[in-house]
Amino acid sequence: MATTVLSSPQIGTGPARRALRLANIMKEIALLPENLLRMPSVGLVNQWYERSFEEIIQFEKVDPEPDVLSKFCERLVHIRNRHADVVPTMAQGVLELKESHEVDAVTEHSIQYFLDRFYMSRISIRMLINQHTLLFGETLGKQASVNGIGNGGRHIGSIDPACDVVGVVRDAYENAKFLCDRYYLDSPDLELMQHGVPSGRPMPIVYVPSHLYHMLFELFKNAMRAVMEHCEGSPPPVQVNLVQGQEDICVKISDRGGGIPRSVTDLLFKYMYSTAPQPSKSDSQNVPLAGYGYGLPISRLYARYFHGDLVLLSCEGYGTDAVIYMKALTNEANELLPVFNKTSSKFYRPTAQLADWSGGVHNLNTPNRDKEK
Ligand code: W6P
């Protein structure tokens, strides 16, 4: 894992790699359903990509002198900031589409396919930018990530070769609990159990702590909200099982929040369904715990980025298990990237599928249709 995401200090490879990934996803943007491409927010995102691409390729031809290297770092930081709001802006674009057009099943499928690849590409590009700026940036970067201030000196950019899963779980729980207490004036306790390593010992893995935190925080918020909305009297605890296996490391978060019907489980990962208007800034003191935005689909992409996964398993009437799988072996945990080729372009002009099973309309809209992956 470490080797795939380390940018070379030579300027030749850094810009080339980023430019290639930018070019790949820009070709896919061009294939988006026309209706979506015409939405103002999507146009804005497209402009950001065009501008960043132009800025990056400027660096391809110049010699990697120290002055150029630091200019390159500055440019990367600038680009990272420019793209900070890509996710809510694309979500806005999808809302604009829903409000202005009837969206058919084929279009919806294309949008799901595109956004999964688009956000995965974004995760990978931001990972490259973070690695480069942390490892080769001026001031802070050098000391914090190479000589290692604050984390025992072990970080390699944003990668922690001994990421403390237990610590990240507790941290994510505490922060979700804070929001939960503020909104519901109470919150479920955490019951943490470890398997495969002695209890109370850390369970270190090679991982990007911020990615793991992002997934756990999202799942805790969902679990807590379900529990608080469902329970009468004192809320039952959220149980977390942490398991070190040979092949996988699993984090299972179990809530007794009443569960969700099977037909809804897949919808929670669909961008077209999970798009809701952003709560306004003035509401920020009293935002609901979760339930807007792209938290779950994007968390699953974080898991899949290093060949793990995130799945939901619910028993309607009782509660939900959410499992994060991570690869235990780092040589299997390399990047999973979208590549653009003839296969991917075909997905944007899919032919409507005819049902080959009886008993209902099995078109692309059927929630329980088997996953394509
Ligand atoms: C629920 C719905 C959900 C989504 C994600 C994680 C946990 C839960 N619990 O009821």
Judged on CB neighbours under 10 Å (0-12, 13-18, 19+), 222 is: buried
pLDDT of residue 39: 94
What percent of the chain clears pLDDT 70, i.e. is strictly above it? 82
Lowest mean pLDDT among 169-183, 277-291, 347-361: 277-291
Instruction: Provide ipTM, 2 decimals.
Output: 0.98
DSSP state of 156: B
Question: By the 8 A CB rule, do 323 and 252 touch?
Answer: yes
Average pLDDT, the chain: 83
313 CA → ligand 1 middle, Å: 9
pLDDT of residue 287: 64
Q: Please say if 222 is a catalytic residue.
A: yes
Assign residue 82 a region (left: φ > 0; alpha: ψ between -120 and 50; beta: otherwise): alpha
Which protein residue has the closest C-alpha to ligand 1 atom 2? 222
Instruction: State the average pLDDT over residues 228-240.
Output: 96
The more confidently predicted of residues 348 and 75 is: 75
The alpha carbons of the chain give a radius of gyration, in whole angstroms, of: 22
d(CA 287, CA 176) in angstroms, rounded, equals 12
pLDDT category of residue 273 using cuts at 50, 70 and 90: confident
Identify the active-site residue in 218, 252, 270, 327: 218
Which protein residue has the closest C-alpha to ligand 1 atom 3? 222
3-class secondary structure, 372:
coil
Best mutation site among 222, 294, 299 for ligand 1, i.e. most ligand atoms within 8 A of its Cβ? 222
372 CA → ligand 1 middle, Å: 22
Q: Please say if 211 is a catalytic residue.
A: no
pTM: 0.86
d(CA 356, CA 162) in angstroms, rounded, equals 49
Identify the active-site residue in 83, 109, 214, 270: 214
Question: By the 8 A CB rule, do 310 and 301 touch?
Answer: no
Provide the strand spans (E) within the chain.
Answer: 160-164, 190-195, 204-207, 238-244, 248-255, 309-315, 319-327
pLDDT at 144 over 60: no
pLDDT of residue 84: 94
Question: By the 8 A CB rule, do 302 and 120 touch?
Answer: no
pLDDT category of residue 6 using cuts at 50, 70 and 90: very low
111 CA → ligand 1 middle, Å: 24
Which protein residue has the closest C-alpha to ligand 1 atom 4? 222
CA atoms within 13 A on the CB side of 217: 17
**Among 12-16, 109-113, 129-133, 218-222, the range of highest mean pLDDT:** 218-222
Please identify, by atom number, the ligand 1 atom nearest to the C-alpha of residue 320.
9
Instruction: State the average pLDDT over residues 43-72.
Output: 88
List Cα–Cα distances, 219 to 4, 76, 228, 353, in angstroms. Answer: 28, 31, 14, 33
Assign residue 76 a region (left: φ > 0; alpha: ψ between -120 and 50; beta: otherwise): alpha
Please identify, by atom number, the ligand 1 atom nearest to the C-alpha of residue 255.
9
Please identify, by atom number, the ligand 1 atom nearest to the C-alpha of residue 268.
4
182 CA → ligand 1 middle, Å: 19
Q: Please say if 214 is a catalytic residue.
A: yes
312-364 pLDDT, tens per residue? Answer: 999 999 999 999 999 998 788 888 888 877 778 877 766 666 777 777 554 44
Instruction: State the average pLDDT over residues 66-76.
Output: 88
93 CA → ligand 1 middle, Å: 26
3-class secondary structure, 233:
coil
Contacts of 345 (CB under 8 A, 6+ apart): 31
Identify the active-site residue in 55, 83, 109, 222: 222
Best mutation site among 320, 323, 324 for ligand 1, i.e. most ligand atoms within 8 A of its Cβ? 320
Best mutation site among 214, 220, 221, 225 for ligand 1, i.e. most ligand atoms within 8 A of its Cβ? 225
CB-based pocket (< 6 A), ligand 1? 219, 222-223, 226, 255, 257, 259-260, 312, 320, 322
pLDDT category of residue 7 using cuts at 50, 70 and 90: very low
Which protein residue has the closest C-alpha to ligand 1 atom 7? 223
d(CA 305, CA 120) in angstroms, rounded, equals 7
Judged on CB neighbours under 10 Å (0-12, 13-18, 19+), 225 is: buried
194 CA → ligand 1 middle, Å: 21
Identify the active-site residue in 155, 211, 221, 327: 221
88 CA → ligand 1 middle, Å: 22
d(CA 136, CA 157) in angstroms, rounded, equals 9
Q: Please say if 101 is a catalytic residue.
A: no
